[in-house]
Every structure is written in C-alpha cells, then in structure tokens.
Amino acid sequence: MATPRQRLQQQLAAPLPADPQLVLVTDLDGTLLGGSLAWRRRVYGWLQRRREQVLHVFCTGRDLRSIARLLEQDAEHGLVAPHLVIGDVGCTVACGHSLEPVPLAVEPIDRLWVGKPERLLPLLDGVAGLSPQPLSSDRRLAYYYDPEIFAHDLVDELEAHGVDCLFSDNRYLDLLPAGINKGSTLLALLELLDFDRARVVTAGDTLNDLAMFETGLAGVMVGNAEPALMAELPRLPGTYRARASGCEGIVEGLRHFGYGALLEDL
C-alpha cells in the first residue's frame, strides 16, 4: 500500500527532492518579493541552484491565477516555480510546476467549505467598508476592507457559520473554513510529506503569516513586517526577528538558524 507521501507524489506533475536539507516556506508579497532587486535576484538564483537541497514552498494569500501571472512576470528576475504552493491563505495546495491543485491535500478543505458561500454572501452584500477582491478561489471569500468604516461586530455573526475572519495588513479580510490557515495547512502538508520538522523554516511579514509562526516551526519575521505582527513576537519563541527586509531578511534568518553552509554560493 502506498504511503501518504507516495500518494502525494503521484498527484504532482514534477518530483520532489528525496531528502532535502531544508524545507523553506515563504510568503510572497513583502517577503520573497520584498527587499532590493539585487537581493531578490541573488535569492532566486540560489533557490534555482539548490533545487535538490531546498524544497521551496510558496505560502501566500494569492490565488493560483495570480501566482501564475507572477511567475511569468518575474521570470526576468530569476523567480522560478516552487516545488509546492499553499495559496488562498491556506485554502489551496497545488503543485508548483503545474499549479494544479493536489486532491489529497485539498479535498479535506473542500469538505469544510461546502455550503458556506450560500450562507455568508447574503450577510456580506452591501456591507459598508467592504469590496470583493478580484480573485478566483473555491474555498474562501476575500475582501478589501476599510477598518474605519467596517462594522467589526459583524465578525461574530459571520464566524457563527463555521468560518474564521482573518484581517491582515490593515486592508484585507479573508473568510476561511474554521481552523484553516497557512499554519494548519502547512502542518497537514508536512505530515503527508513525512519530513523532519527540524529542517523547516518559515518566513513572512503580515498577520496572515502569524499562523505559520504559531506552529512552533522555525520562523523568520522579516524586517518590514507589519506592526501588528511584530507585536506578537514575544509569544513566538521559535521566530527570529530579522533586521533586513524581504529576501535579505530571509537569508539573515537562515543564517541565524544554522544554514550558513547551504548559503555558501548565494
């Protein structure tokens, strides 16, 4: 009988590294896409050269269409597809090569989302301070929100329908199946992969990355992190607060966690 890892591999369009030295899980906007262009090019080139030693996972709020556009646009800067994608703030898992959803990882989330839009959309229709984000997702609802106008007492009514309301960067509101977030999906994926969690490093910069840091995995909070995320640092003992921003901050964090030898050719 195939193991979960073997079953997952069968659903991917490209093979994963057999025994990576590092599993690097990075947010995109402000993190892997943050910092100077020079640093971004250095890190993207390093990821390409180290593809067999570093299993790279995008962990982002972007949907798959947005990620596809990004990979096309940033190819000139050296950005290549990761091995795996956690998108939609944890609601989607896809193969990095094909950007096709991975059924083994996505089907449990699908089951939690059944019936939610039909109950939630009437409550959200016409709410002051909300406007839908132009994205395509089957397992979440995403809005821009104005914190000065939005009536926060609506949150309890929404969450009574089995969702979590996630605010981030003082402008985004995501409605996700209850208990689903970047951290929960990452842990579920790591269980399928059966990789040593001591080899995992996460990196992010906004409140929707908090769930990754709450997993207890090694984390890098890059220097340009939003103030609301930085305020959580005292209760995140496994998270390193980098001084540098974006890609440079990721590298600073990797050195902090003992991956200097892997960075020799950066």
Report the topology of domain 4-106+180-263: Rossmann fold (3.40.50)
DSSP secondary structure letters along the chain: ---HHHHHHHTSSSPPPSS-SEEEEE-IIIIIT-S-HHHHHHHHHHHHHTTTTEEEEEE-SS-HHHHHHHHHHGGGGT----SEEEEGGGTEEEETTT--B-HHHHHHHHHHHTTHHHHHHHHHTT-TTEEE-S---SS-EEEEE-TTTS-TTHHHHHHTTSEEEEEETTTEEEEEETT-SHHHHHHHHHHHHT--GGGEEEEE-SGGGHHHHTT-SEEEE-TT--HHHHTTGGG-TTEEE-SS-HHHHHHHHHHHTT-TGGGTT-
* pLDDT category of residue 8 using cuts at 50, 70 and 90: confident
pTM comes to: 0.95
CB 138 within 8 A of CB 107: no
Q: Closest by alpha carbon to 121, among 111, 112, 130?
A: 130
Q: Indicate where the chain has its CATH 3.90.1070.10 domain(s).
A: 110-177
For the segment(s) 110-177, the CATH number from 3.90.1070.10, 3.20.20.70, 3.40.50.170, 3.40.50.1100 is 3.90.1070.10
* pLDDT tens digits, one per residue of 38-95: 999 999 999 999 999 999 999 999 999 999 999 999 888 899 999 999 999 999 999 9
- State the helix-helix crossing angle for 246-256 and 37-49, rounded to 10 degrees: 50
pLDDT at position 15 over 90: no
* pLDDT tens digits, one per residue of 149-168: 998 899 999 999 999 999 99
pLDDT-above-90 percentage for the chain: 88
Mean pLDDT for the chain?
95
* pLDDT tens digits, one per residue of 113-149: 999 999 999 999 999 999 999 877 889 999 999 999 9
Q: Indicate where the chain has its CATH 3.40.50.1000 domain(s).
A: 4-106+180-263
How large is the average pLDDT for residues 251-261?
Answer: 98
